[in-house]
């Protein structure tokens, strides 16, 4: 099995998004974590290690609050975020005591991923760190902490043991959720407007049109085509699709009408203050459950292994030249893979077979998902080296009962692992000396 795959489908919980330099982040933790770091305003101490005001501000900056949020709500958020920082610091101290170690190689791979996500080389990333209030040392320390917490999550997930009865109960609880906030819902609509103060004849004509659309949809006509032909809503050109969202983000009229209806159902016409709506249910499931179908991608790649920054830059240049030859028709992707790829898939022309979401490391998968069939990526850096990726084709595959059950098992295991990690954090905090000096950054 190719080593790009994660057997447990684990994802690097890259707080990399939180540490992203676009836009440049608020100042992060000072260089050290001991008493020498006290030049910054200290808001709490955990086992003798300070949490500074700048750390709290940086974490608060990750949370988007709506304009006009009351000061009391902002103060409460600051208290909650500080509590989370204290838990994390205690957990990190406990992890070190237990011998959890993140290698320099792992930190360098995460660092390369941050650079790649921002369209930079590692050297360019380092040049921009001072403007964000970060040294290279502090930045790498942040990455090491994030990777340590991820290692703990993975360890707890591996310890979870589930019975078939637990999986059955979990699935039953999610068959017919009553709370719309727990339902992932996608609808398509045909909208026939009724102007305000419309006469009886206009109202009757709109109703007849809506009834005709509903009749034809139930008779099997393509709903998307009916929407393009009849609907007067902005999304008509997209076949009437309203997007996948939580059910409580839809009008109550829609949710109450479609609740419990299977995918493909036609509902309506429904009368609102604006006019008539005919709805088609595209997806309705509990938010914890996976979609009933999955997009699979057939993909191949060329890998040049690279461990140092210089090797990565050389590999990028070589693969950029190779891509130009492939795109211009001077060689084929398959021939190039057989000739230069340093992955075990080289003998098969770089083929990795059909892949589902979550099978590859995040940076590889992100680049793959951005490609249309037949396209070849620019060089992509991962912890394994530098790749060229070609998508051959895609297909939609229905999940069988076994696949849905495995997805349910995975979600339940992850939830239990998070609960176990929270308990570890509580225990670690109880053992540590904690002093909260103030909650405002």
The three-state secondary structure class of 384 is coil
d(CA 28, CA 55): 5
Does 186 fall in a domain?
yes
Question: Which of 151, 174, 197 corresponds to the end of one domain?
Answer: 174
- Per the model's pLDDT, the better-predicted residue between 31 and 288 turns out to be 288
Report the CATH number at residue 315: 3.10.50.40
Does 435 fall in a domain?
no
Closest among 420, 343, 428 to 157, alpha carbons compared = 420
Q: Which residues pair with 271 in a beta bridge?
A: 276
**Residue-number span of the structural domain to which 266 is assigned:** 180-286
Q: Which residues pair with 387 in a beta bridge?
A: 303, 380
93 near 430, Cβ under 8 Å? no
d(CA 217, CA 212): 9
Does 32 fall in a domain?
yes
By mean pLDDT, which of 15-24, 25-34, 243-252, 324-333 is the weakest?
15-24
38 and 149 share one domain: yes
193 and 63 share one domain: no
String of DSSP letters for 32-81? -SSGGGGGSPEEEEETTEEEEHHHHHHHHTTS---TT--HHHHHHHHHHH
- The per-residue pLDDT for range 91-124, each reduced to its tens digit, is 888 888 888 888 888 888 888 878 877 778 888 8
How many domains does the structure of the chain reveal? 3
160 and 22 share one domain: yes
- Please calculate the CA angle 327-330-332 and round it to the nearest 5 degrees: 70
Q: Which residues pair with 394 in a beta bridge?
A: 297
Instruction: Identify the pLDDT of residue 441.
Output: 62
Kind of pairing between the strands at 385-398 and 380-382? antiparallel
Q: What is the DSSP letter of 301?
A: E
The residue whose two tokens read 């349910």 is 408
String of DSSP letters for 349-381? TTEEEEE-TTSB-HHHHHHHHTPPTT-BPPPEE
Kind of pairing between the strands at 275-286 and 183-193? antiparallel
- Please calculate the CA angle 283-286-292 and round it to the nearest 5 degrees: 45
Question: Which of 286, 305, 327 corresponds to the end of one domain?
Answer: 286
Q: Which residues pair with 351 in a beta bridge?
A: 300
Q: What is the DSSP letter of 16?
A: T
What value does the mean pLDDT take over residues 65-87? 81
203 and 350 share one domain: no
Does 436 fall in a domain?
no
- The per-residue pLDDT for range 304-336, each reduced to its tens digit, is 998 887 888 899 999 999 999 999 999 999 999
- Per the model's pLDDT, the better-predicted residue between 436 and 318 turns out to be 318
- The per-residue pLDDT for range 390-421, each reduced to its tens digit, is 999 999 887 777 777 877 787 788 788 888 88
Does 165 fall in a domain?
yes
Instruction: Identify the pLDDT of residue 28.
Output: 40
| Host H or E run for residue 270 | strand 266-271
178 pLDDT band, cuts 50/70/90, is low
32 and 15 share one domain: yes
pLDDT at 12 over 50: no
Does 40 fall in a domain?
yes
Compute the mean pLDDT over every residue in the chain, rounded to the nearest whole number: 81
27 pLDDT band, cuts 50/70/90, is very low
256 and 320 share one domain: no
pLDDT at 34 over 80: no
55 and 140 share one domain: yes
How many Cα atoms are found within 13 Å in the side-chain-facing hemisphere of 169? 6
26 and 100 share one domain: yes
Kind of pairing between the strands at 49-52 and 42-46? antiparallel
- Per the model's pLDDT, the better-predicted residue between 27 and 294 turns out to be 294
- Please calculate the CA angle 258-288-241 and round it to the nearest 5 degrees: 40
19 and 148 share one domain: yes
275 and 298 share one domain: no
375 pLDDT band, cuts 50/70/90, is very high
Does 438 fall in a domain?
no
Structure-block tokens of residue 348: 């098969």
Q: How far is CA 87 from CA 210, 283, 358, in A?
A: 56, 38, 29
Closest among 321, 347, 344, 325 to 334, alpha carbons compared = 347
93 and 74 share one domain: yes
Structure-block tokens of residue 61: 């900056």
Report the CATH number at residue 69: 1.10.4030.10
pLDDT at 88 over 50: yes
d(CA 310, CA 53): 37
pLDDT at 248 over 50: yes
pTM score of the predicted model: 0.49
79 and 109 share one domain: yes
Does 336 fall in a domain?
yes
């Amino acid at each position: 099995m190719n080593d790009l795959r994660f057997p447990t489908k684990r994802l690097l919980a890259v707080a990399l998004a939180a540490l992203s330099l676009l836009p440049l982040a608020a100042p992060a933790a000072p260089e050290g974590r001991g008493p020498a770091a006290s030049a910054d305003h200290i808001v709490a101490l955990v086992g003798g290690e300070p949490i500074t005001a700048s750390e709290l501000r940086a974490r608060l900056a990750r949370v988007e609050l709506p304009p006009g949020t009351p000061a009391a709500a902002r103060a409460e958020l600051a208290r909650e975020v500080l509590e989370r920082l204290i838990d994390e610091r205690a957990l990190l101290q406990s992890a070190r005591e237990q011998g959890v170690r993140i290698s320099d190689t792992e930190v360098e791979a995460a660092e390369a991923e941050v650079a790649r996500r921002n369209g930079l080389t590692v050297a360019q990333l380092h040049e921009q760190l001072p403007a964000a209030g970060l040294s290279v040392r502090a930045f790498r320390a942040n990455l090491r902490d994030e990777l340590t917490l991820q290692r703990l999550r993975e360890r707890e997930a591996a310890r979870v043991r589930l019975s078939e009865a637990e999986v059955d109960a979990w699935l039953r609880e999610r068959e017919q959720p009553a709370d719309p906030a727990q339902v992932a819902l996608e609808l398509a609509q045909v909208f026939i407007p009724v102007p305000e103060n419309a006469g009886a004849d206009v109202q009757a004509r709109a109703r007849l049109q809506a009834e005709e659309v509903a009749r034809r949809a139930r008779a099997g006509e393509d709903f998307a085509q009916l929407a393009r032909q009849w609907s007067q809503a902005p999304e008509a050109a997209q076949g009437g699709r309203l997007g996948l969202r939580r059910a409580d983000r839809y009008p109550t009229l829609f949710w109450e009408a479609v609740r419990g209806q299977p995918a493909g159902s036609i509902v309506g016409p429904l009368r609102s203050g604006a006019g008539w709506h005919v709805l088609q249910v595209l997806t309705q499931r509990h938010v914890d459950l996976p979609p009933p179908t999955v997009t699979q991608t057939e993909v191949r790649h060329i890998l040049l292994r690279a461990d140092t920054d210089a090797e990565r830059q050389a590999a990028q240049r070589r693969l950029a030249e190779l891509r130009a030859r492939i795109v211009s028709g001077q060689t084929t992707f398959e021939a190039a893979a057989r000739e230069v790829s340093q992955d075990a898939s080289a003998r098969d022309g770089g083929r990795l077979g059909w892949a589902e979401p979550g099978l590859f490391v995040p940076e590889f998968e992100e680049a793959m998902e951005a490609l249309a069939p037949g396209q070849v990526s620019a060089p992509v850096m991962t912890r394994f080296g530098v790749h060229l990726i070609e998508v051959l084709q895609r297909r939609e595959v229905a999940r069988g009962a076994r696949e849905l059950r495995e997805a349910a098992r995975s979600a339940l295991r992850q939830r239990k692992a998070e609960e176990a990690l929270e308990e570890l954090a509580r225990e670690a905090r109880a053992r540590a000396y904690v002093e909260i000096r103030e909650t405002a950054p």
